[in-house]
Structure 1
Protein backbone atom coordinates (compact mmCIF):
# COMPACT_ATOMS: atom_id res chain seq x y z
CA UNK A 1 0.00 0.00 0.00
CA UNK A 2 2.83 2.39 0.87
CA UNK A 3 4.47 1.78 -2.52
CA UNK A 4 1.18 2.50 -4.25
CA UNK A 5 0.78 5.82 -2.42
CA UNK A 6 4.37 6.85 -3.14
CA UNK A 7 3.86 6.05 -6.82
CA UNK A 8 0.90 8.42 -7.16
CA UNK A 9 1.47 11.67 -9.02
CA UNK A 10 -0.54 14.26 -7.12
CA UNK A 11 -0.20 16.90 -9.84
CA UNK A 12 -1.69 14.65 -12.54
CA UNK A 13 -4.52 13.52 -10.27
CA UNK A 14 -5.46 17.06 -9.28
CA UNK A 15 -5.24 18.22 -12.90
CA UNK A 16 -7.59 15.46 -14.12
CA UNK A 17 -10.07 16.23 -11.33
CA UNK A 18 -9.93 19.94 -12.14
CA UNK A 19 -10.64 19.29 -15.82
CA UNK A 20 -13.50 16.92 -14.99
CA UNK A 21 -15.00 19.40 -12.50
CA UNK A 22 -14.72 22.20 -15.03
CA UNK A 23 -16.36 20.03 -17.71
CA UNK A 24 -19.50 19.35 -15.67
CA UNK A 25 -19.66 22.73 -13.90
CA UNK A 26 -22.29 24.25 -16.29
CA UNK A 27 -24.65 21.41 -15.45
CA UNK A 28 -26.19 20.18 -12.22
CA UNK A 29 -23.05 19.30 -10.25
CA UNK A 30 -21.44 20.02 -6.86
CA UNK A 31 -20.40 23.68 -7.01
CA UNK A 32 -17.60 23.29 -4.46
CA UNK A 33 -15.48 20.79 -6.42
CA UNK A 34 -14.01 23.20 -8.98
CA UNK A 35 -12.83 25.80 -6.41
CA UNK A 36 -11.31 23.07 -4.23
CA UNK A 37 -9.41 21.58 -7.16
CA UNK A 38 -8.24 25.00 -8.39
CA UNK A 39 -6.89 25.64 -4.91
CA UNK A 40 -5.23 22.21 -5.07
CA UNK A 41 -3.57 23.09 -8.38
CA UNK A 42 -2.12 26.24 -6.82
CA UNK A 43 -0.96 24.44 -3.68
CA UNK A 44 0.63 21.62 -5.67
CA UNK A 45 2.52 23.87 -8.10
CA UNK A 46 3.72 26.51 -5.64
CA UNK A 47 6.95 25.64 -3.85
CA UNK A 48 6.81 28.57 -1.41
CA UNK A 49 3.35 27.68 -0.15
CA UNK A 50 3.11 27.02 3.58
CA UNK A 51 2.46 23.52 4.92
CA UNK A 52 -0.78 24.82 6.39
CA UNK A 53 -2.14 25.35 2.86
CA UNK A 54 -1.40 21.73 1.99
CA UNK A 55 -3.12 20.65 5.19
CA UNK A 56 -6.11 22.88 4.43
CA UNK A 57 -6.46 21.47 0.93
CA UNK A 58 -6.21 17.90 2.21
CA UNK A 59 -8.87 18.66 4.82
CA UNK A 60 -11.17 20.28 2.24
CA UNK A 61 -10.69 17.32 -0.08
CA UNK A 62 -11.51 14.82 2.67
CA UNK A 63 -14.58 16.77 3.80
CA UNK A 64 -15.80 17.13 0.21
CA UNK A 65 -16.18 13.33 0.00
CA UNK A 66 -18.85 13.55 2.70
CA UNK A 67 -20.42 16.55 0.96
CA UNK A 68 -20.48 14.58 -2.31
CA UNK A 69 -22.42 11.75 -0.72
CA UNK A 70 -24.93 14.23 0.72
CA UNK A 71 -25.14 16.05 -2.61
CA UNK A 72 -25.82 12.80 -4.52
CA UNK A 73 -28.73 11.93 -2.22
CA UNK A 74 -30.32 15.39 -2.49
CA UNK A 75 -29.82 16.21 -6.19
CA UNK A 76 -30.41 14.49 -9.49
CA UNK A 77 -28.08 14.45 -12.47
CA UNK A 78 -28.02 13.17 -15.99
CA UNK A 79 -26.42 9.77 -16.51
CA UNK A 80 -23.23 11.27 -17.96
CA UNK A 81 -23.05 13.91 -15.22
CA UNK A 82 -23.52 11.28 -12.53
CA UNK A 83 -20.77 9.09 -14.04
CA UNK A 84 -18.31 11.99 -14.15
CA UNK A 85 -19.23 13.02 -10.58
CA UNK A 86 -18.74 9.45 -9.35
CA UNK A 87 -15.38 9.31 -11.16
CA UNK A 88 -14.37 12.54 -9.40
CA UNK A 89 -15.49 11.08 -6.07
CA UNK A 90 -13.47 7.90 -6.65
CA UNK A 91 -10.37 9.92 -7.67
CA UNK A 92 -10.55 11.96 -4.46
CA UNK A 93 -9.33 9.00 -2.39
CA UNK A 94 -5.96 8.51 -4.16
CA UNK A 95 -5.57 12.30 -4.40
CA UNK A 96 -6.04 12.59 -0.65
CA UNK A 97 -3.46 9.83 -0.11
CA UNK A 98 -1.01 11.49 -2.51
CA UNK A 99 -1.28 14.84 -0.73
CA UNK A 100 -0.87 13.12 2.64
CA UNK A 101 2.38 11.68 1.24
CA UNK A 102 3.40 15.14 0.06
CA UNK A 103 2.81 16.47 3.56
CA UNK A 104 5.05 13.76 5.01
CA UNK A 105 7.85 14.51 2.52
CA UNK A 106 7.71 18.20 3.43
CA UNK A 107 8.09 17.35 7.12
CA UNK A 108 4.50 17.84 8.26
CA UNK A 109 3.00 15.08 10.37
CA UNK A 110 -0.43 15.22 8.76
CA UNK A 111 -3.83 16.71 9.30
CA UNK A 112 -4.81 17.46 12.87
CA UNK A 113 -7.62 19.86 13.54
CA UNK A 114 -7.59 21.52 16.95
CA UNK A 115 -9.58 24.71 16.79
CA UNK A 116 -8.20 27.00 14.13
CA UNK A 117 -4.70 25.55 14.37
CA UNK A 118 -3.69 22.74 12.02
CA UNK A 119 -0.71 21.83 14.20
CA UNK A 120 2.00 23.39 12.05
CA UNK A 121 4.41 26.25 12.47
CA UNK A 122 3.31 29.87 12.19
CA UNK A 123 2.70 30.98 8.62
CA UNK A 124 3.24 34.69 9.23
CA UNK A 125 4.42 36.94 12.02
CA UNK A 126 2.69 40.06 13.21
CA UNK A 127 4.28 43.28 11.90
CA UNK A 128 6.47 45.13 14.36
CA UNK A 129 8.01 42.01 15.81
CA UNK A 130 5.27 41.22 18.31
CA UNK A 131 6.39 37.62 18.56
CA UNK A 132 8.10 35.72 21.30
CA UNK A 133 10.96 34.63 19.03
CA UNK A 134 11.91 38.14 17.94
CA UNK A 135 12.76 39.08 14.39
CA UNK A 136 15.74 40.78 12.87
CA UNK A 137 15.75 44.43 13.92
CA UNK A 138 12.47 44.31 15.81
CA UNK A 139 12.03 44.64 19.51
CA UNK A 140 10.01 41.85 21.10
CA UNK A 141 7.26 42.50 23.60
CA UNK A 142 9.11 40.67 26.36
CA UNK A 143 12.34 42.67 26.14
CA UNK A 144 13.12 45.31 28.77
CA UNK A 145 12.88 48.94 27.76
CA UNK A 146 15.69 51.17 29.01
CA UNK A 147 14.12 54.02 30.94
CA UNK A 148 15.75 57.02 32.56
CA UNK A 149 16.28 56.81 36.29
CA UNK A 150 13.25 57.97 38.27
CA UNK A 151 15.26 60.37 40.44
CA UNK A 152 17.00 62.07 37.52
CA UNK A 153 14.62 63.79 35.08
CA UNK A 154 15.82 64.12 31.49
CA UNK A 155 15.66 67.58 29.88
CA UNK A 156 13.22 68.93 32.45
CA UNK A 157 10.69 66.11 32.06
CA UNK A 158 9.53 64.92 35.46
CA UNK A 159 9.69 61.17 36.17
CA UNK A 160 6.53 59.30 35.25
CA UNK A 161 4.36 57.33 37.57
CA UNK A 162 4.53 53.53 37.44
CA UNK A 163 2.36 52.18 34.63
CA UNK A 164 2.26 55.49 32.73
CA UNK A 165 3.13 55.65 29.06
CA UNK A 166 6.61 56.76 28.08
CA UNK A 167 8.32 57.49 24.84
CA UNK A 168 11.60 55.80 24.26
Structure 2
Protein backbone atom coordinates (compact mmCIF):
# COMPACT_ATOMS: atom_id res chain seq x y z
CA UNK A 1 0.00 0.00 0.00
CA UNK A 2 2.81 2.43 0.87
CA UNK A 3 4.54 1.80 -2.46
CA UNK A 4 1.29 2.48 -4.32
CA UNK A 5 0.74 5.76 -2.45
CA UNK A 6 4.35 6.87 -3.06
CA UNK A 7 4.05 6.16 -6.76
CA UNK A 8 1.10 8.56 -7.18
CA UNK A 9 1.75 12.05 -8.52
CA UNK A 10 0.26 14.64 -6.16
CA UNK A 11 0.06 17.41 -8.74
CA UNK A 12 -1.89 15.26 -11.21
CA UNK A 13 -4.29 14.07 -8.51
CA UNK A 14 -5.00 17.63 -7.41
CA UNK A 15 -5.35 18.83 -11.00
CA UNK A 16 -7.89 16.08 -11.80
CA UNK A 17 -9.88 16.84 -8.64
CA UNK A 18 -9.83 20.56 -9.44
CA UNK A 19 -11.19 19.91 -12.92
CA UNK A 20 -13.87 17.55 -11.60
CA UNK A 21 -14.99 20.01 -8.94
CA UNK A 22 -15.12 22.75 -11.59
CA UNK A 23 -17.32 20.54 -13.77
CA UNK A 24 -19.86 20.21 -10.94
CA UNK A 25 -20.12 24.00 -10.52
CA UNK A 26 -23.34 24.46 -12.57
CA UNK A 27 -25.22 21.90 -10.44
CA UNK A 28 -25.96 21.45 -6.80
CA UNK A 29 -22.55 20.31 -5.53
CA UNK A 30 -20.24 20.96 -2.55
CA UNK A 31 -18.96 24.51 -2.97
CA UNK A 32 -15.88 23.97 -0.78
CA UNK A 33 -14.16 21.44 -3.07
CA UNK A 34 -13.11 23.86 -5.82
CA UNK A 35 -11.35 26.38 -3.51
CA UNK A 36 -9.63 23.57 -1.59
CA UNK A 37 -8.22 22.09 -4.78
CA UNK A 38 -7.19 25.50 -6.14
CA UNK A 39 -5.20 25.90 -2.92
CA UNK A 40 -3.84 22.40 -3.56
CA UNK A 41 -2.51 23.51 -6.95
CA UNK A 42 -0.59 26.28 -5.20
CA UNK A 43 0.75 23.83 -2.62
CA UNK A 44 1.97 21.33 -5.20
CA UNK A 45 3.86 24.05 -7.08
CA UNK A 46 5.49 25.53 -3.97
CA UNK A 47 8.53 23.60 -2.75
CA UNK A 48 8.95 25.35 0.61
CA UNK A 49 5.34 25.61 1.81
CA UNK A 50 5.32 22.96 4.55
CA UNK A 51 2.66 24.77 6.60
CA UNK A 52 0.48 25.23 3.52
CA UNK A 53 0.92 21.56 2.66
CA UNK A 54 -0.14 20.60 6.19
CA UNK A 55 -3.19 22.85 5.92
CA UNK A 56 -4.16 21.38 2.57
CA UNK A 57 -3.72 17.83 3.87
CA UNK A 58 -5.93 18.45 6.88
CA UNK A 59 -8.56 20.31 4.82
CA UNK A 60 -8.72 17.48 2.30
CA UNK A 61 -9.01 14.88 5.06
CA UNK A 62 -11.74 16.85 6.83
CA UNK A 63 -13.62 17.42 3.59
CA UNK A 64 -13.92 13.63 3.21
CA UNK A 65 -16.29 13.68 6.16
CA UNK A 66 -18.02 16.82 4.86
CA UNK A 67 -18.61 15.12 1.49
CA UNK A 68 -20.30 12.16 3.15
CA UNK A 69 -22.54 14.50 5.15
CA UNK A 70 -23.23 16.64 2.09
CA UNK A 71 -24.18 13.63 -0.06
CA UNK A 72 -26.60 12.37 2.59
CA UNK A 73 -28.29 15.77 3.03
CA UNK A 74 -28.61 17.07 -0.55
CA UNK A 75 -30.26 15.99 -3.77
CA UNK A 76 -28.33 16.00 -7.04
CA UNK A 77 -28.86 14.85 -10.57
CA UNK A 78 -27.14 11.57 -11.41
CA UNK A 79 -24.19 13.17 -13.29
CA UNK A 80 -23.26 15.62 -10.52
CA UNK A 81 -23.68 12.90 -7.89
CA UNK A 82 -21.39 10.56 -9.86
CA UNK A 83 -18.67 13.22 -10.13
CA UNK A 84 -19.03 14.15 -6.44
CA UNK A 85 -18.61 10.49 -5.45
CA UNK A 86 -15.58 10.23 -7.76
CA UNK A 87 -14.04 13.30 -6.07
CA UNK A 88 -14.77 11.72 -2.68
CA UNK A 89 -13.00 8.51 -3.72
CA UNK A 90 -9.98 10.44 -5.08
CA UNK A 91 -9.61 12.45 -1.87
CA UNK A 92 -8.41 9.41 0.08
CA UNK A 93 -5.29 8.73 -2.02
CA UNK A 94 -4.68 12.48 -2.31
CA UNK A 95 -4.66 12.86 1.47
CA UNK A 96 -2.40 9.83 1.87
CA UNK A 97 0.08 11.03 -0.76
CA UNK A 98 0.34 14.42 0.91
CA UNK A 99 0.90 12.75 4.30
CA UNK A 100 3.72 10.72 2.75
CA UNK A 101 5.17 13.81 1.05
CA UNK A 102 5.10 15.70 4.34
CA UNK A 103 6.84 12.84 6.14
CA UNK A 104 9.55 12.82 3.47
CA UNK A 105 10.09 16.54 4.00
CA UNK A 106 10.49 16.01 7.72
CA UNK A 107 7.19 17.46 8.92
CA UNK A 108 5.86 16.37 12.29
CA UNK A 109 2.20 15.94 13.12
CA UNK A 110 2.36 15.64 16.90
CA UNK A 111 0.09 18.14 18.58
CA UNK A 112 -1.12 19.60 15.26
CA UNK A 113 1.72 22.07 15.00
CA UNK A 114 2.31 22.57 18.72
CA UNK A 115 5.46 21.09 20.17
CA UNK A 116 4.03 18.99 23.00
CA UNK A 117 2.57 21.31 25.64
CA UNK A 118 4.55 24.29 24.33
CA UNK A 119 2.02 26.75 22.99
CA UNK A 120 4.53 29.59 22.88
CA UNK A 121 6.18 28.22 19.70
CA UNK A 122 7.36 30.42 16.88
CA UNK A 123 5.03 33.35 16.36
CA UNK A 124 4.54 35.44 13.28
CA UNK A 125 3.17 38.43 15.17
CA UNK A 126 3.16 39.81 18.70
CA UNK A 127 0.48 41.65 20.58
CA UNK A 128 1.05 45.34 21.28
CA UNK A 129 1.70 46.32 24.85
CA UNK A 130 4.13 43.50 25.54
CA UNK A 131 1.66 40.69 26.12
CA UNK A 132 4.22 38.22 24.84
CA UNK A 133 6.67 36.12 26.78
CA UNK A 134 9.62 38.39 26.02
CA UNK A 135 9.82 42.17 26.08
CA UNK A 136 10.31 43.73 22.67
CA UNK A 137 11.16 47.25 21.58
CA UNK A 138 10.42 49.03 24.81
CA UNK A 139 7.33 47.06 25.74
CA UNK A 140 7.15 45.49 29.14
CA UNK A 141 6.00 41.91 29.46
CA UNK A 142 3.33 40.94 31.94
CA UNK A 143 5.77 39.05 34.18
CA UNK A 144 8.23 41.95 34.64
CA UNK A 145 7.87 44.24 37.67
CA UNK A 146 6.78 47.80 37.05
CA UNK A 147 9.68 50.23 36.70
CA UNK A 148 8.87 53.80 37.67
CA UNK A 149 10.99 56.53 36.12
CA UNK A 150 11.09 60.25 36.86
CA UNK A 151 8.52 62.28 34.93
CA UNK A 152 9.88 64.49 32.14
CA UNK A 153 10.39 68.17 32.95
CA UNK A 154 7.39 70.39 32.13
CA UNK A 155 7.45 72.10 28.76
CA UNK A 156 6.70 75.84 28.95
CA UNK A 157 3.59 76.88 27.07
CA UNK A 158 3.98 79.56 24.41
CA UNK A 159 2.32 82.83 25.21
CA UNK A 160 -0.06 84.51 22.83
CA UNK A 161 0.36 88.28 22.53
CA UNK A 162 -2.63 90.29 23.68
CA UNK A 163 -4.33 92.23 20.93
CA UNK A 164 -5.95 95.61 21.27
CA UNK A 165 -9.72 95.76 21.22
CA UNK A 166 -11.25 96.90 17.94
CA UNK A 167 -14.63 98.54 18.27
CA UNK A 168 -15.01 97.38 21.85
CA UNK A 169 -14.47 93.71 20.99
CA UNK A 170 -11.29 91.80 21.63
CA UNK A 171 -9.81 90.59 18.36
CA UNK A 172 -8.35 87.14 18.17
CA UNK A 173 -4.80 86.82 16.86
CA UNK A 174 -6.13 84.20 14.44
CA UNK A 175 -8.91 86.37 13.04
CA UNK A 176 -8.30 88.07 9.72
CA UNK A 177 -9.30 91.73 9.54
**TM-score, normalised by the number of residues in structure 2:** 0.67
Question: How many residue pairs end up in the alignment?
Answer: 140
Question: What is aligned with 1:119?
Answer: 114
Question: What is aligned with 1:52?
Answer: 51
Find the aligned partners of 1:97 and 1:8 in 2 and give their Cα distance. Answer: 10
Question: What is aligned with 1:98?
Answer: 97
Counterpart secondary structure, 1:67: helix
Find the aligned partners of 2:149 and 2:56 in 1 and give their Cα distance. Answer: 45
Unaligned ranges ≥5, structure 1: 143-161
Q: Which of the pair has the greater relative contact order for Cα pairs under 8 Å at 6+ separation?
A: 1
Question: What is aligned with 2:28?
Answer: 28
Question: What is aligned with 1:79?
Answer: 78
| 2:162 aligned with 1:163 | no
Question: What is aligned with 2:60?
Answer: 61
CA RMSD of aligned residues (A): 3.0
Structure 1 26/10 Cα, relative in aligned 2: closer, same or farther at 3 Å?
Answer: same
**TM-score, normalised by the number of residues in structure 1:** 0.70
Higher Cα radius of gyration = 2
Question: What is aligned with 1:11?
Answer: 11
